[in-house]
Amino acid sequence: ETGVTQSPTHLIKTRGQQVTLRCSSQSGHNTVSWYQQALGQGPQFIFQYYREEENGRGNFPPRFSGLQFPNYSSELNVNALELDDSALYLCASSFGRGKGTDTQYFGPGTRLTVL
Amino acid sequence: AQSVAQPEDQVNVAEGNPLTVKCTYSVSGNPYLFWYVQYPNRGLQFLLKYITGDNLVKGSYGFEAEFNKSQTSFHLKKPSALVSDSALYFCAVRDRADDKIIFGKGTRLHILP
């Protein structure tokens, strides 16, 4: 069984740039959720994709967008980067609609630094 | 609105002693509750979850958690701490009504040799 993987591990960008982060879900999982974890904070829910459709969204602006592919891998795109976007971005996969009792399994994260 | 509180930023426990990491929650309906652990430069690892039934939930690595509805708490426990338990622990709650999952700010656990 393959776990959740994310790429890249680290990324440095400047304000105003755009970034794409990638996530491969655990084998057999069809739901991917993205979280932002600022330093010293718990993860904050960005959005979730189930079978290629957005299936819930947290309080993040539209410049945070995503995709899920037929193989259930996913991308997180952030446009017009701001300094406050510097954080660890976590991807989690689960089986089911990502609701209720579903357990989410997390990848190692991508550390984004915005200068 | 749902919320999770982890009132201790840090907990220090001597190796071999029992440990408790506290979590309280607030939801409008019945909760699903989760504990995750995060090691340095790693993602979150699932420890255990409460869905329904027995209030004492057993999980990975010898951890357990007790659901207390009247106190709206879900404290994480382990009878005998190991140095390797030192990590950051997150409590999370999902409201059955709207399915959003909310994480606490985390508690850093230090097990002293």
User: Could you tell me which of A21, A1, A19 has the C-alpha nearest to residue A105?
Assistant: A1
Please tell me if residue A23 touches chain B, with a CB cutoff of 8 Å: no
Question: Which tens digits make up the pLDDT trace of A1-15?
Answer: 568 999 999 999 999
Question: Which tens digits make up the pLDDT trace of A41-59?
Answer: 999 999 999 889 998 898 9
User: Could you tell me which of A24, A26, A41, A23 has the C-alpha nearest to residue A88?
Assistant: A41
The dihedral formed by the CA atoms of B10, B15, B16 and B20, expressed in degrees to the nearest 10: 0
Look at residue B29 in the predicted model and tell me its pLDDT: 79
Tokens of B66: 């007790």
Mutate to test the interface with A, among B10, B99, B105 (most CBs of A within 10 A): B99
For strand B10-14 and strand B107-112, is the pairing parallel, antiparallel, or unpaired?
parallel
User: Could you tell me which of B47, B48, B52 has the C-alpha nearest to residue B69?
Assistant: B52
Q: How far is CA A94 from CA A68, A87, B60, in A?
A: 13, 23, 18
CB contact under 8 A, B32 and A4: no
Which residues of B are less than 8 Å from A104 in CB distance? 46, 101
What percentage of chain B exceeds 90 in pLDDT? 76
Rounded Cα distance, B78 and B64, in Å: 6
Question: Which tens digits make up the pLDDT trace of B89-100?
Answer: 999 998 766 667
Look at residue B99 in the predicted model and tell me its pLDDT: 65
Rounded Cα distance, B42 and A35, in Å: 14
CB contact under 8 A, B43 and A106: yes
Look at residue B98 in the predicted model and tell me its pLDDT: 62
Rounded Cα distance, A23 and A8, in Å: 9
Closest alpha carbon within chain A to B44? A106
User: Could you tell me which of A21, A26, A27 has the C-alpha nearest to residue A4?
Assistant: A26
